């Protein structure tokens, strides 16, 4: 089974801090994604990556950056955390072939105080 592991289930940080969310997948998937999920808004794509060292902006990249130095690891960085970044963050991975599902981690519930 595909396993996508997010480093923290719950995280509390302060406004202005630099925050790192880590995601690791064990199935050699080419694609990795970071979403945020807010009530009533569904999932919104922040950034995605098709390969090592490659990154593409999603729908809401402002205030975030990402890093993919190794194929299995995709990190989301909040450069200077703000209260409006309090949310559930979900990492996913998938194969590049067409018609492939995405596999999700359990999410990180991040609170910015």
Partner 1 sequence: SQQGEEDPQALSIQEGENATMNCSYKTSINNLQWYRQNSGRGLVHLILIRSNEREKHSGRLRVTLDTSKKSSSLLITASRAADTASYFCATEGNYQLIWGAGTKLIIKP
Total of residues contacting partner 1 (CB under 8 A)? 23
Which of 32, 78, 81, 92 binds partner 1 (CB under 8 A)? It is: 92
d(CA 59, CA 48): 10
84 contacts partner 1 (rule: CB under 8 A)? no
Are 27 and 97 a contacting pair, CB within 8 Å?
no
109 contacts partner 1 (rule: CB under 8 A)? yes
Give the distance from CA 113 to its chain's centroid: 20
Q: CB-wise, 84 or 99, nearer to partner 1? A: 99
- How far lies 12's CA from each of 73, 102, 106, 108, in Å? 22, 27, 17, 10
Q: Which of 14-22, 62-70, 77-85, 90-98 is the region at the interface with partner 1 (rule: CB under 8 A)?
A: 90-98
Which of 45, 67, 72, 111 binds partner 1 (CB under 8 A)? It is: 45
């Amino acid at each position: 089974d595909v396993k996508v592991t997010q480093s923290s289930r719950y995280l509390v940080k302060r406004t202005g801090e630099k925050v790192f969310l880590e995601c690791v997948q064990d199935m050699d998937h080419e694609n990795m994604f970071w979403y945020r999920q807010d009530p009533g808004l569904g999932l919104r794509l922040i950034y995605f990556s098709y390969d090592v060292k490659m990154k593409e902006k999603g729908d809401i990249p402002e205030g975030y950056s990402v890093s993919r130095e190794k194929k299995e690891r995709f990190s989301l960085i909040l450069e200077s955390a703000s209260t409006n970044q309090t949310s559930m963050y979900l990492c996913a991975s998938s194969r590049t072939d067409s018609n492939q599902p995405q596999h999700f981690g359990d999410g990180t519930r991040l609170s910015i105080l």
